[in-house]
């Protein structure tokens, strides 16, 4: 954290926090769009406009030998396992594929860009990014903050309609039966 604080203080450009994902996450397996792998996605993210800096935090469950980014820190990019809350609070925007970190960022009023399709993107408060050029375009314009009341309404809807009582196995079974399985899922190899 001390190394991060020194990096942050050395420059006043805005910071994009990128939360790493695991390659076997369901959204990473079937929802990478034009990217063949998470590594390709993160490589595209490294081409930020030079008006921004980036903090990349690897996912704690991603295997060390399969980290998508393994470069040393630079003036533009900080790589480190810092607390998520510190990374979000220190950032001007957050980029996730389909991580719960995106919902945390929305709750902390941070502009949140998503490359995947997490459930909270249905709130209408995230900014979709389908390729690295679109990320550059988004970061070149002012980013709107999420509307707190819409985020809170979305979270309340999740609490009211999506959570199941742990003792209600019949509802869980119905939900599993109704789930749609992708027709052509991506293989788990080729990370």
Contact 117, 27 (CB under 8 A): yes
pLDDT beyond 60 at 187: no
Instruction: Please give the residue that has the higher pLDDT: either 180 or 147.
Output: 147
Helix (H, G, I), strand (E, B) or coil at 78: strand
Mean pLDDT (the chain) is 84
Burial status of residue 31 (CB atoms within 10 A of its CB: 0-12, 13-18, 19 or more)? middle
Distance CA 177, CA 6 (A): 51
Number of continuous H segments (helices) and E segments (strands) in the chain: 8, 6
Which pLDDT does position 69 carry in this prediction? 58
pLDDT beyond 50 at 189: no
Which pLDDT does position 36 carry in this prediction? 77
pLDDT in tens, 35-79: 777 777 787 777 777 899 999 998 888 766 545 555 666 788 898
Contact 109, 146 (CB under 8 A): yes
pLDDT band at 150 (very low <50, low <70, confident <90, very high): very high
Which pLDDT does position 71 carry in this prediction? 63
pLDDT beyond 80 at 110: yes
Taking the alpha carbons of 36, 42, 43, 44 in that order, is the dihedral positive or negative? positive
Nearest to 95 by CA among 67, 131, 127: 127
Taking the alpha carbons of 115, 99, 189, 136 in that order, is the dihedral positive or negative? positive
Proportion of the chain in helix, strand, coil states, percent, rounded to 5? 40, 10, 50
Which pLDDT does position 34 carry in this prediction? 76
Token reading at 3:
């190394």
Lowest-confidence segment of 5-14, 25-34, 138-147, 150-159 by average pLDDT: 25-34
Whole-model pTM: value is 0.82
- Of 39-48, 88-97, 111-120, the range with the highest mean pLDDT is 88-97
Which pLDDT does position 182 carry in this prediction? 60
């Amino acid at each position: 954290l001390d190394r991060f604080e020194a990096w942050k203080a050395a420059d006043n450009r805005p910071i994009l926090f990128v939360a790493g994902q695991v390659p076997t996450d369901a959204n990473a397996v079937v929802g990478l769009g034009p990217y063949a792998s998470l590594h390709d996605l993160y490589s595209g993210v490294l081409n930020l406009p030079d008006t921004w800096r980036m903090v990349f935090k690897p996912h704690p469950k991603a295997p060390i030998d399969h980290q998508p980014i393994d470069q040393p820190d630079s003036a533009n990019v900080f790589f480190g396992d810092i607390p998520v809350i510190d990374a979000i609070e220190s950032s001007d925007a957050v980029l996730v594929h389909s991580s719960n970190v995106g919902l945390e960022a929305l709750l902390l009023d941070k502009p949140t860009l998503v490359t995947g399709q997490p459930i909270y993107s249905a709130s209408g408060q995230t900014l979709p990014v389908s390729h690295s050029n679109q990320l550059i375009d988004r970061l070149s314009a002012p980013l709107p903050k999420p509307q707190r009341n819409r985020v809170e309404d979305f979270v309340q809807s999740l609490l009211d309609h999506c959570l199941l009582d742990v003792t209600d196995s019949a509802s869980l079974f119905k939900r599993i039966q109704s789930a749609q399985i992708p027709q052509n899922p991506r293989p788990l190899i080729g990370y």
